[in-house]
Amino acid sequence: MCHINIFNTENMDEKNFTPEESLSIISKTIEETRKKIQDNGHIMILWGCLIFTVIFSQYMLELLGLHKKFDIVWTCILFPLGAIYTFFYTRRKTKKNNIPKTVLGITIEAMGWVFGLNVLVLATVFNNHIGNALAPVIMILLAMTIIVIGLSIKYKPLTIGGIILNLLAFGTFWVNPAYYGFSLMFGAIVGLIIPGILLNIAKKRGNV
């Protein structure tokens, strides 16, 4: 567990410190608290790999002629498992590391769940209405979520990844629907896996 070692509490001198020192205490404390409560890219990498695996396996099942039998089961098992894991992982991490509630944390969590529920409803209830456009629409929703989170935590690779994913989603409308899966897989890599890995590296180096 990291500590904000900004002053010597043994020699606590109540009033003999300058305004510059006061500002330094404030900025260091706020900066260190933010570092402490910020999540790593673990969940982003998990969801990127999950999307990649599901789409890739669907192509493989199609090649093997098992597409009709297994693809729905595969999707219906892996994504809910990912959601359950995410729920318990974040809950356990918050408890174990004694992470306090923040407005930003609550907003990011809510955005993730709202995105997931919207995708679930679109894919199950409105699948017939939306047809082939489902993949690019999901990508646009994901890109929006990633861009907003990237801007909120002021992390450029995430924002850039989200923008690339957004552009990729628009480009997907122009390609043959048979290749939409490739767009999704590429989107998962640029929008989630790469920024997630970079976020983990930056966190380890203490840059975020």
Residues that bind another protein in the complex, under the rule CB under 8 A: 1, 3-7, 9, 12-17, 19-20, 22-23, 25-26, 29-30, 32-34, 36-37, 98-103, 106
Return the closest-CA partner of residue 165 out of 126, 141, 145, 139.
139
Residues contacting residue 136 through CB under 8 Å, at least 6 positions apart:
169, 170, 172, 173, 180, 183
Residues contacting residue 150 through CB under 8 Å, at least 6 positions apart:
156, 157, 158, 159, 160, 161, 162, 195
Q: Which is nearer to another protein, 101 or 205 (CB)?
A: 101
Q: Which is nearer to another protein, 5 or 176 (CB)?
A: 5
Closest approach of another protein to the CB of residue 4, in Å: 5
Q: Which is nearer to another protein, 84 or 106 (CB)?
A: 106
Give the span between the Cα atoms of 29 and 27, in whole angstroms: 6
Q: Which is nearer to another protein, 34 or 67 (CB)?
A: 34
Residue 5: how many other CB atoms lie within 10 Å: 9
Closest approach of another protein to the CB of residue 39, in Å: 14
Closest approach of another protein to the CB of residue 91, in Å: 13
Closest approach of another protein to the CB of residue 98, in Å: 5
